[in-house]
């Protein structure tokens, strides 16, 4: 490890010197064109002889980017706390309001295969952890059918059957269309005429648009994505990862 750090330090010093030369720094006048070329050749040869320093540099760069991204997301979460957790239109499941100690937020799309893959994990957490609430954020990014399914979900909420609809549509496989969405709604006993009318409610349209904008503000570009405590977590994480993040979030509150 010491030799790798030494390699990086040596290469960094060479690059600093080269950068000063090539950008007209104070030291540039001290070297001729021939010497400039020699320095460049030394750097090139060093990289060819020690290619691992490139991998080390990339690894450190990626870690720095991840840290910066995490900091930006935490700042965005703090600024958008009301939209994330307190929007009265956001459907909630789990512990009753006031009986919970943590809200997990999931951004999802009804046509997302990874959302369907992680859904049993979320359901298991709801059943086994009685102090968790889940906020379902409609994030229809996979085409018109996804948007239609999200509108139907929010319209089902008006009939008090959001969760039943959510479970039913999450259980469907393959691509969605209007017929399949309405069949799912009928299956759980929704009033289809009322549902159809409510799907065109401007408030529902505005809410879905606001949620899409919220996700973008938080750096969310795909589904599923979870907010657990201070962390915005992309992808279908497994149960243990989710429980670890829940533990961290709860410890932060103590």
pLDDT per residue over 71-109, tens digit each?
666 665 666 787 889 999 999 999 998 899 999 999 999
Does residue 218 carry a pLDDT above 80?
Answer: yes
Residue 59 confidence (pLDDT) = 73
Locate the domains of the chain by residue range. 2-78, 81-253
Phi and psi at residue 132, to the nearest 5°? -110, 140
**How do residues 105-164 score in pLDDT, each as one tens digit?**
999 999 999 999 999 999 999 999 999 999 999 999 999 999 999 999 999 999 999 999
Angle between helices 192-199 and 144-158 (to 10 degrees): 120
Q: Which residue has the tokens 């996979």?
A: 142
Could you give phi then psi for residue 24, rounded to 5 degrees? Answer: 80, 30
H-only helix segments in the chain: 2-22, 33-49, 52-79, 81-85, 113-128, 144-158, 162-170, 178-187, 192-199, 202-217, 239-253
Q: Let me know: does 212 contact 139? Beta carbons within 8 Å.
A: yes
CB count in 10 Å sphere of residue 28 = 12
Asked whether the beta carbons of 87 and 80 are under 8 A apart, the reply is no
Partners of 232 in beta bridges: 227
Confidence at residue 70, expressed as pLDDT on a 0 to 100 scale: 61
Sign of the alpha-carbon dihedral angle for 241, 254, 72, 226: positive
pLDDT, tens only, 28-71? 456 677 877 777 787 778 777 877 877 777 777 677 766 666 66
Higher pLDDT residue, 2 or 76? 76
Q: At what angle do helices 113-128 and 162-170 cross, to 10 degrees?
A: 130
Between the two ends of the chain, the Cα-to-Cα distance in Å is: 38
pLDDT tens readout for residues 152-206: 999 999 999 999 999 999 999 999 999 999 999 999 999 999 999 999 999 999 9
Pick one of 3.90.1170.40, 3.40.30.10, 3.30.70.270, 3.40.50.720 as the CATH number of 81-253.
Answer: 3.40.30.10
């Amino acid at each position: 490890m010491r030799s790798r750090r030494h390699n990086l330090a040596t290469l960094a010093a060479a690059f600093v010197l080269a950068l000063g030369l090539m950008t007209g720094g104070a030291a540039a006048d001290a070297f001729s064109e021939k010497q400039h070329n020699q320095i460049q050749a030394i750097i090139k040869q060093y990289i060819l002889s020690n290619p691992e320093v490139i991998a080390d540099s990339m690894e450190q760069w990626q870690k720095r980017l991840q840290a910066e991204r995490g900091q930006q997301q935490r700042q965005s979460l703090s600024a958008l706390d009301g939209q994330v957790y307190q929007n009265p239109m956001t459907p909630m499941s789990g512990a009753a309001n006031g009986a919970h100690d943590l809200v997990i937020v999931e951004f999802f799309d009804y046509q997302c295969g990874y959302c369907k893959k992680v859904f049993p994990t979320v359901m298991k957490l709801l059943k086994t952890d009685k102090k968790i609430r889940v906020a379902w954020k409609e994030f229809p990014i996979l085409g018109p059918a996804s948007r239609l399914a999200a509108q139907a979900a929010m319209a089902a909420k008006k009939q008090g059957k959001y969760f039943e609809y959510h479970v039913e549509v999450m259980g469907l496989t393959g691509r969605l269309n209007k017929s399949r969405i309405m069949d799912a709604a009928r299956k759980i006993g929704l009033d289809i005429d009322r549902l159809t009318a409510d799907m065109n409610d401007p408030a529902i349209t505005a809410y879905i648009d606001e949620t899409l904008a919220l996700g973008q503000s938080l750096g969310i570009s795909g589904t599923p994505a979870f907010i657990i405590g201070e962390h915005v977590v992309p992808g279908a994480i497994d149960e243990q990862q989710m429980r670890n993040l829940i533990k961290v979030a709860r410890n932060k509150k103590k």
